[in-house]
Amino acid sequence: MFAGRPIIGLAGGIGSGKSYAARVLREMGCAVIDSDAQVRAAYETDIVRGQLHAWWGDAVFAADGKVDRKAIARRVFESPLERERLERLLHPLVASARDREMRQAAEVGGVLAFVWDTPLLFEAGLNGACDAIVFIDAGLGDRLRRVAESRGWSEEELLRREKLQLPLDKKRDISDYVLKNVADPEEFRAKIGEMLSQILANHQIKRTSGSGRV
């Protein structure tokens, strides 16, 4: 379906630098599939808006009529059942969008690999579809600084959200590659490039031997 290009899944803690790594990989010739962007698009569809209103009424819509994702987040973080119900609604739509985006990129050509920038890669069971999982490693202090600057989150909010996910140590242990997000952006970029070259070489070996995804 995708002409033998490897699928690279990005994992790591919130604020670890996954989006930066994805941006660098895009610049290096990869097609990045941004799950957050697909979720935002799904929230704007009539089917999702209608279902959200049926469940929660006007409480999850802003004054301008747009979906209030913060209001939804408060509801689903307080109730695992509500979170699972929301995931059952969104995940099929996101999966269809992901496949459609990959097909379009494959048709254009020139794509070295597909990169899945998916916050819940393991939790959604998508790691099994990847040829390589890359864990972006960053200390708690660095991650706190980033989410405070970009999202206005406190340490309590960050840790509360991460408790709903697979533990970071577990994600790191079951990943194929671990990249330390260092302070020097150029050094980090170089590490990403080395990792990509290694993944492409390994994938080519698997394809040649007949054991890889084609």
Q: Where are the domains of the chain?
A: 1-30+113-214, 38-110
The whole-angstrom separation of Cα 169 and Cα 66 is 37
> Over its length of 214 residues, how does the chain's per-residue pLDDT go in tens digits?
455 899 999 999 999 999 999 999 999 999 999 999 999 999 999 999 999 999 999 999 999 999 999 999 889 988 989 999 999 999 999 999 999 999 999 888 889 999 999 988 998 899 999 999 999 999 999 999 999 999 899 999 999 889 888 999 999 999 999 999 977 889 999 999 999 999 999 988 877 776 544 3
Of 3.40.50.2000, 1.10.260.30, 3.40.109.10, 3.40.50.300, the CATH number of 1-30+113-214 is 3.40.50.300
